[in-house]
Amino acid sequence: MSVVIPTRNEAKNVPFVLENLPSGIDEVILVDGNSVDGTIEAAQAVYPDIKVVHQSRKGKGNALAAGFAASTGDYIVMIDADGSMDPREIPDYLAALDAGAHYAKGSRFCAGGGSDDISLLRDLGNKGLNGITNILFRTKFSDLCYGYNAFRRECLLAFGLPAAHDTTVDAVWGDGFEIETLINVRVAKSRLKIAEVPSFEYPRRSGESNLRTFRDGWRVLFTIMRERVTPQQAAARSLQHTAPAVVVPLPERATTAAQRSEAV
């Protein structure tokens, strides 16, 4: 199993993520976007065996693509470095994959999930984008824009991501925050089995988010519309499945503020 963590100036946050990873992980890949605050050194101090990859272009999407390309695990987990996602939830994602899902989609809005960080504007935007996606692609996503996910390696064919280290171009579509929507939609188009896993989102532990609500929201909307009219790549078509999504029973989560505070 591989865990991919994109970073850019997360020296104060990434140690928390690494310190709380569960046992049994084969490799942890940190993909750095030219951090200047000692992020790599902070990660190596906590996790000496971490594999460091330097992204060649800008953006979270390019970082994830570079991490996926460097990974070797049959299962791949993608998690943010800011401490907003609890690494101790990883076993829940693996349980979904073990139960038959190809893609375990984290959700703050399915039963057992939640958020102490989402603003009203982001909540409304997410719900609107969810609705559009579910209508256009006949899906049942409850949290399209949440980036805590895990998947089987074969899903990489469905993702069809641009070459991570192509330096002949400055940027390509999929290099930004639209990456999460892009892969969600492409997995759905391939009719792979998707399981939603309840997840709780915490406020980032330190610093400011690189997310820009309006700019990135428009990029997500454009991605949805673009994917609606874009034919599947040949590799993705070879993966198509017809079985329904699986539903995986998961343990109850801490639901009160006090319980969540104790957990973190």
Which tens digits make up the pLDDT trace of 23-59?
Answer: 999 999 999 999 999 999 999 999 999 999 999 888 8
For 251, residues 6+ apart whose C-beta sits below 8 A from its C-beta are 92
Terminal alpha carbon distance of the chain = 24
Number of domains in the chain: 1
What domain range includes position 258?
2-263
For residue range 79-116, list pLDDT tens digits in order. Answer: 999 999 999 999 999 999 999 999 999 999 999 999 99
- Confidence bin at 247 (pLDDT 50/70/90): very low
Q: What pLDDT does residue 145 have?
A: 87
Cβ atoms of residues 63 and 33 within 8 Å: yes
- Band (73; pLDDT cuts 50, 70, 90): very high
Q: What is the DSSP letter of 85?
A: B
As given in the structure block, the two tokens for residue 231 are 């034919």
pLDDT, residue 187, reads: 94
Name which of 43-47, 152-156, 174-178, 250-254 the model is least confident about. 250-254
Residue 262's H or E segment, with its range, is helix 257-263
- Mean pLDDT value across the chain: 86
Query: What would the pLDDT profile of 202-218 be if each residue is shown by its tens digit?
Result: 998 987 766 566 677 78
How many residues comprise the chain? 264
- Residue 233's pLDDT is 60
Q: Residue 164 has what pLDDT?
A: 83
Q: What three-state secondary structure class fits 87?
A: helix
pLDDT-derived band at 240 (thresholds 50, 70, 90) equals: low
CATH of the domain at 114: 3.90.550.10
pLDDT digits over 183-195, tens only? 999 999 999 999 9
pLDDT at 231: 72
Cα separation, 68 vs 80, whole angstroms: 14
Cβ within 8 Å of residue 261, ≥6 positions away: none
Residues 6+ away with beta carbon under 8 Å from 69? 164, 165
